[in-house]
Structure 1
Amino acid sequence: MEDLEIRPAVAGDIPAIVAMLADDPLGAQRESPDDLAPYLTALERLAKDPNQHLVVAVREDRVIGTLQLTIIPGLSRRGSTRSIIEGVRIHADERGSGLGTRLIEWAVDESRRQGCQLVQLTSDATRTAAHRFYERLGFEASHVGFKLPL
């Protein structure tokens, strides 16, 4: 992993990121790799918000992983700041290589650096292998999540 770089995502990374987001049955239903315009617009919004960190893992100039880390100052838990990890994806060729662990470790370290007292993440209920992965890294399934499409 010494040849791995984790850096902020740039517009040129969007095709690779979206391809990874779409590279499973669930993502294939939600993502549109043929129309990158909304993703580029979203990247511009994220880049303007200092609490948003969309990063990519790069090896030999190839994007092989990504995640988004959001820092949320809060009032609950005695005014604690928390972070949320979302959109964790590893290129199919790299799964099982330890890259996912490395990305999550980066996110946890960055959360500490940002003064967070808690790191949260969500994973679709159907992604049971991902749930086992997060549990191996010390995360606990502690809440029931709800969504309301708008």
Structure 2
Amino acid sequence: MGAIDNKTVGWIQVHQVISMETGVYAEIMGLVVDEEYRGRGLGRLLLHATSDSARSIGCRRLRVRCNTIRTESHKFYQNSGFILKKEQKVFDSLL
């Protein structure tokens, strides 16, 4: 979580994935920075802290999935060193 003057202005949620196919990695489930505070490096700080934390538990990769229409997010992640691997469709089944 990122805070300025005791106000939460950003957060990141990550979980560890253990996959038979690709091994152990960390996946970002959400990263949000308040619009008023964007462009100040807070998102990158959250990414760096997350990367350090993931490395410390044995993850060798950090993954994030973005909706295809979120072009600003795509730019942010690419400018932060992420490489586009694929585009995909997501299917849900109600239980």
- The answer to whether TM tops 0.5 is yes
Which runs of no fewer than 5 residues in structure 1 stay unpaired?
1-55
Question: In the alignment, which of 65, 77, 83 is matched to residue 140 of structure 1?
Answer: 83
Please state how far the C-alpha of 1:131 moved relative to its aligned partner. Answer: 0.5
Q: Distance in 2 between matches of 1:92 and 1:58?
A: 14
More strand per residue: 2
Please state how far the C-alpha of 1:63 moved relative to its aligned partner. Answer: 0.4
Which runs of no fewer than 5 residues in structure 2 stay unpaired?
none
Please state how far the C-alpha of 1:136 moved relative to its aligned partner. Answer: 0.9
Report the identity percentage. Answer: 24
Counterpart residue number, 1:70: 15
Q: Distance in 1 between matches of 2:59 and 2:17?
A: 8
More helix per residue: 1
Please state how far the C-alpha of 1:145 moved relative to its aligned partner. Answer: 2.4
Count of aligned residue pairs for this structure pair: 93
Q: Larger relative CO (CA 8 A, sep 6+): 1 or 2?
A: 2
Question: In the alignment, which of 42, 58, 73 is matched to residue 115 of structure 1?
Answer: 58
- Superposed structure 1 runs of 4+ greater than 6 Å apart: none
